[in-house]
Structure 1
Amino acid sequence: TGERPFACSICDKRFSRPDSLQTHLKTHSNVRPYACFSCGKAYFHSRSLRKHAKVHQ
């Protein structure tokens, strides 16, 4: 249906699912819990770290 009832209170970006909003909210914090063991670069999302790890292979 395309409805996006879940809005970010910081930037007003909208989402169709509450879990997507929660994931997005991490981008507004300085917390980056997923760090690369090879170079130390850190990410908000585990999927970003997995993608980054390929540069070390």
Structure 2
Amino acid sequence: QNIHFGIKPYACTLCDKRFAARSNLFQHRLLHMKPFCCYICNKRFDRDEQLQRHLKLHPTANVLSCR
């Protein structure tokens, strides 16, 4: 019902953005945590698919091999 009435009771404690659904707040909090880290340059991402796309930009990522 919150969505239909525009009520947003769930607030992010880091940026004060508000959400009607708690699940949306949990998803939003990943933006602040950025749990996915590039093992080559240590750049961080909030979603795995962003990290995977980023890894393709590193030329050495495609030529790593076991020795």
User: How large is the Cα RMSD of the aligned pairs?
Assistant: 2.0
Q: Structure 2 CA distance, aligned partners of 1:39 and 1:7?
A: 30
Percent identity for Structure 1 against Structure 2: 32
Aligned residues: 40
Gapped regions of structure 1 (runs ≥ 5): 42-57
User: What is residue 40 of structure 1 aligned with on the other side?
Assistant: 55
Deviation above 4 Å: which 4+ runs of structure 1?
none
Question: Whose relative contact order is higher, 1 or 2, with alpha carbons under 8 Å and at least 6 apart?
Answer: 1
Higher-Rg structure is: 2
**Residues 16-53 of structure 1: CA deviation (Å, up to 9, x unaligned):** 000000000000013125132x6516xxxxxxxxxxxx
